[in-house]
Structure 1
Amino acid sequence: MISLETQHFNINRILLLIIGLWPYQRSLLVEFQLILLYGILMTFIVFQLTTFITAECTLDLIYKVLSSAFFYICFAIKYNSFWINADIIRTSLKQLQDVCNEITDKNEIAIIEKYGDKAKRITITILFLGMFYQVTFTLIYIWPYIHHIMAFTNKSRSHSSVHIMTEYFIDQEKHSYLVTLHRHAACCIGLLAMITTGTMLLTYAQHTCAMISIACYRIEHAMDILLKGYKNEQKSCEEIIHAVNIHRKAMNLINFLISNFSGSYFCLMAAGVLCLSCNLLRLTSFTGNIGQLILSLTNLIIQYVYLFLANYTAQEVTDHNEYLFTTVYNVRWYMAPIRTQKMILFLLQRGTKSFHLILGGVFVASLQSAASIASASISYFTVLYSTQQE
C-alpha cells in the first residue's frame, strides 16, 4: 500500500507545517500561527505602501516601491490561497490516496514511486534555491555593516536602507533592529509560502502524470494479454476499462484542484506581470547601488523560474494526456476482436480533444503561455520605461 503523506508528500508536509498550512490537525495553536505569520507578511506590504503617504510621489518612487510590494503581494496571494482552500487540498489528497489504495500491481506501484521520487528531487532543488535567495537577501543588508567593521572606522553608520523602502511612522534609526527583524521575517515567511505551496501543487501534478502513465501501461498490458489468445478477451477488456477509469480519475482530480484556485491564480498572474515589469524598470534605472541591482535581479529570477516551473508542470500533464492517446493508436488494436476495437475507438475519439489546465479561468497553462506572460511583462515594461523617459 502506498502512503502518500509519509512517502511522497513528507517533505511538503514538513514545510507546510512550518508555516501552518498543512490541511490536517488545524488546532487553535495552528490558527494562531497562521494569523501571526500572515500578519507579519501583510504588515510588511502595508508599511511599504505607506511610503507614498510621507514621501514625495514621483515616478521613480512609485516603481521602486511597487517593484518590491508586488513581489511580496505574490507571496501573500499564495499563502492566502492555501489558507482558504484547506478543505479542497484535504479532499484532493484523500481522493488521490483512494486511487493509490486501489493500485496493487507492482509495475504500477513502481510508476507511482518513480514520479514521487521525481517530485521530491524537484522540491529539494527548489528549496535550496530558496535558501540561496534568503542568504543573498540577508547579505545585501549586512554587507555594509561587515565592510564598516573591516574598514576599522570609528564613524557611526546609518542603519537605514533604501533597497526596500518602508515607512513605519517611527524613528527607524532608533528601532533599526526591529525593522530589520520584521523585514527578514516577512521575506522568509513569504519565500517559504511560495516554495511550499508551489511544490505541493507540483507534487500533486506529478502524481496525476503517474496515473496517466499507469493508464498507458494498462492499455499496453491489455493488448499483450489479448495477443496471447482470444480466450483472454474478457480480461483484456477489463484492463482497458481500468485504464479508462484511472485516466478519468486523473483528469477529474487535477481539474478539481486547479478550478478551486482559479481566483487566486488570476490575482497572482496580474500581480506577477506588474512585479516583473516594475523590477525590469528598476533594473534599467541602475544608479550604482549594487544592493538594489542584486535584489531586483534575484526578484526577476525567482518570478521567471516560478513562471516556467508552473507552466512546465501543466505542460507535462497535457503531454502525458496526449501520449496516452498516442499509445492507444500505436498498439495493435486492429488485431483485436470487434468488441475490443469499439472500446479503443471511443478512446481514440476522446484523443481528438486536447486537455489543458486552465488557470484563473482564462489562462491556458503551457510553455507557450509562459512565453506570452514573459512577453507581456516586457511590453508593459517598455510602456512604463517610455513614460519615464518622457
Structure 2
Amino acid sequence: MHATDEYYNKINRVVLKILGLWPYEQSYFGRIQKVFFVSIFSTFIFVQLLLFITTQYDTNLLLKILSFVLPVLFCFIKYCIFIIRRDSVKQMLKYNRDNWKLVKDKLEIGIIEKYSYIARLLSIILMGLCCFAIITFTILQFLPLIFDIILPLNESRSCRLIFITEYFVNQEKYIYAIFLHHILAISVAIIAFCNVSSTFLMYVLHTCALLNIASYRIENAIEWNMLAISSPAREYLLYRRIVHAVTIHRRAIEFINFITSEFTVLFAILIVIGVSSLSLNLLQFLQLITLTNNITEIVVFAFMICLHLVYMFIANYAGQKITDHGIKLFHAIYNGKWYMTPLHTQKMLLFIMQKGTIYVNIGIFTASLEGFATLVNAAISYFTVIHSTRQ
C-alpha cells in the first residue's frame, strides 16, 4: 500500500482488524473474531424475539420490539457486508492503492491528500461519537444504580432494561450478566456501524478526489502559450494531456460503478430496514411523549431518531458530492479553451462531457439530497399510516 495512503487509512484498518473484517486477515484468530461477533449480534436479536414465545401477542409489543430489533439488524447487516463481500472489499482496497500510483504532480498529490485527510478526520470523529454513544448507553442502563449512590432512598431503585429481552432465567438474579450482554452487543453494533460507514465514506471521498484531479487536468490541459508551439507538436501535447484527464476520470467512474454494482442488493436491504426502523422509532417516540413519562426511553428513542436522520443525510450527501464533482468536471470542460483544440480533440471532450455527470444508483434509488428527502418522506408516510391505524 502507498505509504501516504496507509497513513490516512490506518484508523479504519486497525478497527477492521479488531472486528475481524480486514479482508487480508486469514488467520485462525480472525475466524474466531467473526464467529464471536456474529454470535453476539445473533443472540441479542434472538433474545428480543423470544419475547413472542413467553408473552401474549400484542401489537404494541410487536412494534416496540421491532423498533429495537431493526436498528440492531441494520448494524448486523453492515457488519456482514465485509464478510459476505470480502473479495469486493479487497478489490476496492486494490483500486484505492492503484489510484494513488496514478498521481505524480505535486498539486494532484495535494488534492488526493486533502480528501484523504478529510476521510481520516471523519473516521476520528465517528470513533469519538462511538465512544460517546457507548458511554451514554451504559450510563442510561445503570442510571438507577448511579442514583442509589448519589441520591439514596430508603429502598433501592429497580433496574430496568432499555432493550426488552427474554433469557428464560431470573432476570433480577442475573441482571449484571444481562447488562453485560446488552452493553457488549450495543458496543459492537455501534463500532461496526461507524467503522464500516467511515470506510465507505473514505471510498466516496477518494472518488471525489479523482474527479477533482480530472477537473484540474482538464483546466490546465489547454493554455494560451501553446499557440506558439507548432501544430503537430501542439496537437500531440493536447492529446496527451487530455488522455491523462480521461484516464483518471475513467478510473473514478469504474471505482464508483464497482462499489454500486457489488453492494446494490445489500444497500437496498439496508434502505428498506432503515426506513422501516425510522418509522417505528417515530411511532414509539410519539407514544412515549404523549402517554408515558419514561425519560430514559424518551432519550433513547430521540437519540435513535437523530441517528437515523444523520446517517441518511450523510449517506445521501456523499452521493450528492460525487454528482457535484462530476458536474464540476463538466463545467471545467465547458468553460475551458476547447475551441483551441483540433476537431477530433473537441469530439473527445464532448464525449467526456456526456460521461461527466455521475449518479450513485442503488437499484431504482439515487443517492442525493433529493434521495434523502424521499427517504424521510417515505418514513414519515409509513409512520402516519401506522399511527392512524392505531387510533
Q: TM-score, normalised by structure 1?
A: 0.95
2:223 aligned counterpart, secondary structure? helix
Counterpart residue type for residue 6 of structure 1: E
Give 1:234's match in structure 2, choosing from 233, 236, 258: 236
How far apart are residue 345 of structure 1 and its match?
2.7
Give the structure 2 partner of residue 317 of structure 1. 322
How far apart are residue 42 of structure 1 and its match?
1.5
CA contact (8 A) 2:214 2:249 kept: yes
How far apart are residue 349 of structure 1 and its match?
3.5
Rate the CA distance shift 1:4–1:380 in 2: closer, same or farther, 3 A.
farther
CA contact (8 A) 1:116 1:206 kept: yes
Give 1:369's match in structure 2, choosing from 368, 371, 376: 371
Give the structure 1 partner of residue 181 of structure 2. 182
Question: 2:57 aligned with 1:57, yes or no?
Answer: yes
CA contact (8 A) 1:226 1:336 kept: no
Comparing 321-330 and 49-58, the one that deviates more: 49-58
Unaligned runs of 5+ in 1: none
Rate the CA distance shift 1:4–1:365 in 2: closer, same or farther, 3 A.
farther
- Matched ranges for 1:125-274 at <5 A: 125-161=125-161, 163-224=162-223, 227=226, 229-231=228-230, 232-274=234-276
CA contact (8 A) 1:213 1:324 kept: yes
Q: TM-score, normalised by structure 2?
A: 0.94
Counterpart residue type for residue 290 of structure 1: I
**How far, CA to CA, are the matches of 2:224 and 2:193 in structure 1?**
46
CA offsets per residue over residues 280-312 of structure 1, 9 Å max, x none?
Answer: 011011110011001101111111111111111
CA offsets per residue over residues 65-108 of structure 1, 9 Å max, x none?
Answer: 11111010101010011111111111111122112112211111
CA offsets per residue over residues 132-191 of structure 1, 9 Å max, x none?
Answer: 222221111111111122333352443342x21101111111111110000000000001
CA contact (8 A) 1:226 1:233 kept: no
How far apart are residue 342 of structure 1 and its match?
2.9
Comparing 124-133 and 80-89, the one that deviates more: 124-133
Counterpart residue type for residue 208 of structure 1: T
Give the structure 1 partner of residue 37 of structure 2. 37
Larger RCO, structures 1/2 (Cα 8 Å, 6+ apart): 1
Give the structure 2 partner of residue 307 of structure 1. 312
**How far, CA to CA, are the matches of 1:269 and 1:349 in structure 2?**
30
Comparing 213-222 and 190-199, the one that deviates more: 213-222
Give the structure 2 partner of residue 117 of structure 1. 117
Give the structure 2 partner of residue 16 of structure 1. 16
Counterpart residue type for residue 310 of structure 1: A
Comparing 339-348 and 272-281, the one that deviates more: 339-348
Counterpart residue type for residue 224 of structure 1: E
CA contact (8 A) 2:215 2:332 kept: yes
Unaligned runs of 5+ in 2: none
CA contact (8 A) 1:218 1:243 kept: yes
CA contact (8 A) 2:20 2:30 kept: yes
**How far, CA to CA, are the matches of 2:268 and 2:340 in structure 1?**
48
Give the structure 2 partner of residue 342 of structure 1. 347
- Matched ranges for 1:67-78 at <5 A: 67-78=67-78
**How far, CA to CA, are the matches of 2:147 and 2:185 in structure 1?**
25
State the percentage of identical aligned residues.
39
Question: 2:107 aligned with 1:104, yes or no?
Answer: no
**How far, CA to CA, are the matches of 1:320 and 1:160 in structure 2?**
50
2:194 aligned counterpart, secondary structure? helix
CA contact (8 A) 1:3 1:97 kept: no
CA offsets per residue over residues 229-270 of structure 1, 9 Å max, x none?
Answer: 343331221010111111011111111122111121111111
Comparing 377-386 and 149-158, the one that deviates more: 149-158
Give 2:387's match in structure 1, choosing from 358, 382, 385: 385
**How far, CA to CA, are the matches of 1:357 and 1:152 in structure 2?**
56
Question: 2:46 aligned with 1:46, yes or no?
Answer: yes
**How far, CA to CA, are the matches of 2:4 and 2:53 in structure 1?**
50
Question: 2:361 aligned with 1:358, yes or no?
Answer: yes
Rate the CA distance shift 1:228–1:109 in 2: closer, same or farther, 3 A.
farther
Give 1:294's match in structure 2, choosing from 291, 299, 316: 299
Question: 2:287 aligned with 1:281, yes or no?
Answer: no
Rate the CA distance shift 1:19–1:225 in 2: closer, same or farther, 3 A.
farther
How far apart are residue 110 of structure 1 and its match?
0.6
**How far, CA to CA, are the matches of 2:301 and 2:272 in structure 1?**
19
Counterpart residue type for residue 102 of structure 1: L
